[in-house]
Copies of this chain bind each other. A is one copy, B any other.
Amino acid sequence: MNAKYDERAKKVDSLLCVGLDPDFDKLPERFKKMDEPQFEFNKWIIDETHEYAAAYKPNSAFYEARGDAGMRELKRTADYLRSEHPDIFTIDDAKRGDIGNTNNGYATSVFDWLGFDAITLQPYQGGRALEPFLSRSDKTCIILCRTSNEGSGEFQNLMTDGKPQWKIVAEKAASEWNANGNCMLVAGATYPEELAEIRASVGDMTLLVPGVGKQGGSATEVVPNGKNSEGLGLIINSSRGIIFTDDPGAEAKKLRDEINSCRV
């Protein structure tokens, strides 16, 4: 499934992922009154931005906050993407993780019921617990490595034998967990130097990079530090900086172009 992303990225000449995070309180008033406010908002965002997007990434928390109604609108969003734009890579940013037996339920939910191409995953319970995801060679597993938030270093920077934990996660992903060629890693745009170290540790593995825009990360630092040997290998996500603006299409095009100007 990782190849799907590369093909789309080449086709539209874009490394941009649009974050579909429809925080209900922040929706424009015209959507709040609709029967399916989050889906209708997402549909509008997708219609406006798809020609610049290689991927879309809804964050599950914003849907779960509205209970089963939100979950249905998340599924409607996934279904809409699959039917209208089947070549766009779709990521459920759900940050799931449990013991192996239980992870089967999450894999079924995200890969089969919702139908996403990829899921984000927690490493804390170890690689063996991730087996129900890793064994799905038809899907992509994106494991948290170095997250974009302030304070993310509290555990991720803990050093063992001279290596921070994020680096240990990166090395294990590249050497142990990627037997099916279906792993990627999360590496925040807010820590560009560590992004370069992660790139050095994982070969050409693709990195999902949140934190550009409102969180403070910039394309000019991310692209040179994170791209792989083919000039690809990055899924650069922006959510609030695109979706909660007056002209999401223009903002998506602007960021796509800014990213591309750093690729040459």
Contact = CB atoms under 8 A, between A and B. Distances in A.
Contacts of A102: 21, 59, 61-62
A149 interface: yes
A62 B113 CA distance: 13
B122 A149 contact: no
A127 B154 contact: yes
Contacts of A104: 61, 65
Interface in A136-181: 144, 147-156, 158-160, 165, 168-169, 172
Contacts of A59: 98, 102, 105
Contacts of A125: 144, 147, 149, 151-152, 156
A213 interface: no
A149 B109 contact: no
Contacts of A159: 160
Interface of A: 21, 23, 59, 61-69, 71-72, 75, 93, 95-100, 102-106, 108-109, 113-114, 122-129, 144, 147-156, 158-160, 165, 168-169, 172
Given A127-B154, A160-B160, 13 more contacts: A59-B102, A61-B98, A62-B102, A64-B109, A71-B71, A95-B98, A124-B155, A124-B156, A125-B147, A126-B153, A126-B156, A129-B149, A158-B160
Report the 7 A-B pairs with minimum CB-CB distance, sorted nearest first. Answer: A61-B105, A128-B151, A126-B154, A99-B149, A64-B109, A65-B105, A126-B151
13 contacts: A23-B105, A61-B102, A61-B104, A61-B106, A63-B105, A64-B113, A65-B109, A67-B113, A68-B68, A100-B149, A127-B154, A128-B154, A158-B158
